[in-house]
Amino acid sequence: MTDTGNRILGAPADRDAPVDRVGAPAGRVDGPLKVAGAARYPSDVTLPGLVHAALVRATITAGTITRIDTARAQAAPGVLAVITHENAPALAEAPMTQLGRSPQFPLTDNRVLYHRQPVAVVVARTREQATSAARLVELSYSESQAILGIGNPLAPVVADQWGLDTVRGDAAAALASAEVVYDQQFSIAAETNNPLGLFATVAHWQGGRLTVHESTQWPTQARATLAAFFSVPEENVRVLVPYLGGGFGAGLRTWPHTVMAVLAARMVNRPVKLVLTRPQMFTAIGHRPQTAQRLRLAATREGRLLAIDHEATSTLAAEEAHIEPVTSRTPAMYACENLATRDRQVRLSIPPPGAMRAPGTVEGNFAVESALDELSYQLGVDPVELRLRNYAEVDPRSGRPWSSNALRECYRAGAGRFGWAGRTPEIGSMREGNQLIGYGMAGVTFGQNSPACRVTISVSRDGTALVRSAATDIGTGTYTIAAQLAAGLLGLRLGQVRVEIGDSDLPPAPASGGSQLATAFGGAIHAGASHLVQAFLDLVAGDEQSPLRGRQRADVTVTGGRIHPAGDPSSGETYRDILTRHGLDELVVDGAIDPQPGESATAPAGAFAAVFAEVRIDRDLGVLRVARLVSVIDGGRVLNHKTARSQVTGAAVMAIGMTLLEETVFDPGTGRIANATFGDYLIPVNADVPDIDVVFAGEPDRFSPIGAKGLGEVGIVGVPAAIANAVYHATGRRIRSLPITLDKLL
Ligand code: MOS
């Protein structure tokens, strides 16, 4: 291993550590259930009397439905109901959330706003009957002009709807007078989230109470949305998602198909199941919008940045609220006095975009980190050195110190592991046989949300603990890190902690999204565990028989299920003994974490990263392969080195898809998605994925009680620029549009 100093919390030394220690690379506690097929995903749910729904979708892109004839569908075998805007009851308005309004009202009126908009739902005894009858619904339309294309002058423009645009100093003046000026445009294709698990809803009304088994990353919010739509109190709605087959942002909102399934269940008075098909997933659960960016930089000849002007446009659906905050991270990236950022959106006749891993950040980073690479060639400065010359020692937005920032260490460690020193800077100078070899790198500044989260924690007389919260595990390891944290804080073994999540009836939790759940849920567990030990001390405060009588929280620690004075693990007494003597089955406490006040002297840092990529390009055929990736992440205190690594590795694979393969193709004439299948929409397979070397740098973050930073998204960011920069180094081709397909290299 390269000398990276003791700030690298690398995995190898931890391999044999006890799995219940925080940070240890424990296998997933839910792994055996998944391997055995016993983990119940929303699409697995079946109930007595369950019937099935299928969607009818519009075949025009814009206009109105002039006639809807359901007679043939109604008469088809097994059909219980055909629900359209003509017979659907009116719904109330759903709440606005930080992620936009959820969702476009389904079945409200006869308007069609995008191709494949769901316009009716058929309920039948079997899925096959419902699907078959859905084809018999006859629709007549009056078509109007669809608005397509990101540059369409007819498209309504939405400017800074969310107040994210930034001005610092005077970028225009600096650009007008600088020695070195850079001005380029970038474009990134729309992409679609393709979680393996097809999104599903199983809705069941019992009187005025609704239970929904739902593909969601946010049960607490799904409950609020459905309660609002159906005008019932939140406590009458229960959303369950113990397991989810991937989300990546698609499950952050409650989409029209869910509302339609819930409505159908109410109308037929039976439990209803709706499972989207793969092609339906392309229009029903959001997509990363198409973006266009213009980036201008002003710099000195030595490479000191004098100004950054970053402008982005992203596509948005009609009547939808979603923000792709492309430029919002730019003000935090480099020490630069003059800066202006603007995000614009254009409304098109497209299905609603939504969140897809590192929304906005990954696109904005591609532009900024490509531009710095271009500048490095223009100025003859090594790309890493150029970044260090503009290093943000403090948060450039506020001037406050970061809560922690190991980006410099990420650069140093990454360069070392990658062998950056072996790079010869001249374009096309590194070859092997017929292959052109390129090295490229990029830096990443991410960020951290700190939403509120609530848990309850209990310890029972059998000595086991139970952690409960409406948090979700979307396949990322939430169950495992929660169990590890609780075990570590309560002095128990991993197997003695049960974690119950994925249920909106449990204490409210934020989304498993925005890289925020591990820190929020972990922070609440941290508080809850401390309260629990205190509750035991309170119980024995006047207990003559307890060796812990009169002890303060600060004097005791817990190991082996025994509370004892620090440094004396053989004294004190066990949870079991205390509960037994007091005739209690269990002790239950609450734990909470709340947003930190923005006025603190410290700027929450979030994750940082450095990415290094090697590409190999066949000189004659243009075939491009990513040969190696090194990703060094400042993730603060890593809660589980195995799941953390998997998270970052998976993100890097997704980034390879974004950079080289993925593109949601909208037919320019009709807006129809031309490649809405796994056969046509390319995502990376094993042969596309090189050796990915993931290591962690940094130290426990001051902003989080558990010292952790969110890792869900940071690993996708920086990879596109690192690859594009490597392509330039190999070929001299500067590709500013993603994906980098073969035709762009020939
Ligand atoms: Mo995400 S876009 O953080 O689920």
Q: Is 614 a pocket residue for ligand 1 (Cβ < 6 Å)?
A: no
Assign residue 606 a region (left: φ > 0; alpha: ψ between -120 and 50; beta: otherwise): left
Distance CA 665, CA 620 (A): 28
Q: Is 710 a pocket residue for ligand 1 (Cβ < 6 Å)?
A: no
Take residue 229 and report the two structure tokens written for it.
């739509």
Mean pLDDT, all residues of the chain: 94
Cα 257 to ligand 1 centre (Å): 20
Tens digit of pLDDT for each residue in 211-267? 999 999 999 999 999 999 999 999 999 999 999 999 999 999 999 999 999 999 999
Confidence of residue 16 (pLDDT cuts 50, 70, 90): very low
Cβ proximity of 286 and 353 under 8 Å: yes
Nearest C-alpha to atom 4 of ligand 1 is from which residue? 249
What is the DSSP annotation of 136-184? Answer: T-EEEEEE-----STT-TTS-EEE-TTS--EEES-HHHHHHH-SEEEEE
Ligand 1 atom with minimal separation from the 511 CA: 4
Whether residue 6 is predicted with pLDDT greater than 80 in this model: the reply is: no
Ligand 1 atom with minimal separation from the 514 CA: 3
Q: Is 250 a pocket residue for ligand 1 (Cβ < 6 Å)?
A: no
pLDDT at 5: 31
462 burial (CB, 10 Å; 0-12 / 13-18 / 19+) is exposed
Residue to substitute in 98, 192, 248, 361 for testing ligand 1 pocket (most ligand atoms within 8 angstroms of CB): 248
Q: Is 359 a pocket residue for ligand 1 (Cβ < 6 Å)?
A: yes
Cβ proximity of 364 and 445 under 8 Å: no
Question: Residue 457: beta bridge partners?
Answer: 467, 589
Q: Is 711 a pocket residue for ligand 1 (Cβ < 6 Å)?
A: no
Whether residue 116 is predicted with pLDDT greater than 80 in this model: the reply is: yes
For the question of residue 432 being annotated catalytic, the response is no
Confidence of residue 275 (pLDDT cuts 50, 70, 90): very high
Beta strands in 58-117, from DSSP E residues, in sequence order = 63-69, 79-84, 96-97, 100-101, 111-112
Distance CA 710, CA 714 (A): 8
Cα 531 to ligand 1 centre (Å): 31
Residue 158 CB partners (closer than 8 Å, separation 6+): 316, 344, 345, 346, 347
Average pLDDT over residues 655-671: 96
Tens digit of pLDDT for each residue in 509-540? 999 999 999 999 999 999 999 999 999 999 99
Cα 474 to ligand 1 centre (Å): 10
Average pLDDT over residues 166-195: 97
State the pairing for strand pair 497-500/465-468. parallel
Report how far apart, in Å, the C-alpha atoms of 505 and of each of 236, 272, 469, 500 are. 10, 21, 8, 11
Residue to substitute in 357, 449, 519, 647 for testing ligand 1 pocket (most ligand atoms within 8 angstroms of CB): 357
Report how far apart, in Å, the C-alpha atoms of 268 and of each of 88, 122, 124, 428 are. 12, 11, 10, 67
pLDDT at 596: 73
pLDDT at 510: 97
Confidence of residue 746 (pLDDT cuts 50, 70, 90): confident
Order of all β-strands in the sheet with 111-112:
111-112, 63-69, 138-143
Distance CA 183, CA 736 (A): 12
Q: What is the number of residues in the chain?
A: 746
Tens digit of pLDDT for each residue in 586-613? 999 999 999 876 657 788 889 999 999 9
Tens digit of pLDDT for each residue in 451-499? 999 999 999 999 999 999 999 999 999 999 999 999 999 999 999 999 9
Cβ proximity of 698 and 339 under 8 Å: no
Ligand 1 atom with minimal separation from the 512 CA: 4
Take residue 10 and report the two structure tokens written for it.
């690398």
Give percent of the chain above pLDDT 70. 95
Residue 433 CB partners (closer than 8 Å, separation 6+): none
Take residue 529 and report the two structure tokens written for it.
């565990």
Whether residue 355 is predicted with pLDDT greater than 90 in this model: the reply is: yes
Q: Which of these, 540, 578, 576, lies nearest to 560 by C-alpha position?
A: 576
End-to-end CA distance of the chain: 38
Distance CA 154, CA 156 (A): 6
Whether residue 45 is predicted with pLDDT greater than 80 in this model: the reply is: yes
Residue 123: strand, helix, or coil: strand
Q: Is 355 a pocket residue for ligand 1 (Cβ < 6 Å)?
A: yes
Q: Which of these, 301, 348, 270, lies nearest to 52 by C-alpha position?
A: 270
Tens digit of pLDDT for each residue in 317-354? 998 888 899 999 999 999 999 999 999 999 999 999 99
pLDDT at 154: 97
Residue 351 CB partners (closer than 8 Å, separation 6+): 114, 115, 116, 117, 282, 283, 284, 286, 287, 317, 673
Q: Is 247 a pocket residue for ligand 1 (Cβ < 6 Å)?
A: yes
Ligand 1 atom with minimal separation from the 474 CA: 4
Q: What is the DSSP letter of 596?
A: P
Please report, to the nearest 10 degrees, the dihedral formed by the alpha carbons of residues 724, 727, 729, 731 taken in order: -140
Which member of 214, 324, 363, 713 is catalytic?
Answer: 713
pLDDT at 320: 84
Cα 247 to ligand 1 centre (Å): 7
Order of all β-strands in the sheet with 562-565:
556-559, 562-565, 573-574
Distance CA 125, CA 258 (A): 19
What is the DSSP annotation of 98-109? Answer: TTEES-PPTTSS
pLDDT at 160: 83
Ligand 1 atom with minimal separation from the 355 CA: 2
Whether residue 8 is predicted with pLDDT greater than 60 in this model: the reply is: no
Whether residue 101 is predicted with pLDDT greater than 90 in this model: the reply is: no
pLDDT at 2: 35
Whether residue 98 is predicted with pLDDT greater than 90 in this model: the reply is: no
Q: Is 217 a pocket residue for ligand 1 (Cβ < 6 Å)?
A: yes
Ligand 1 atom with minimal separation from the 251 CA: 4
Whether residue 104 is predicted with pLDDT greater than 70 in this model: the reply is: no
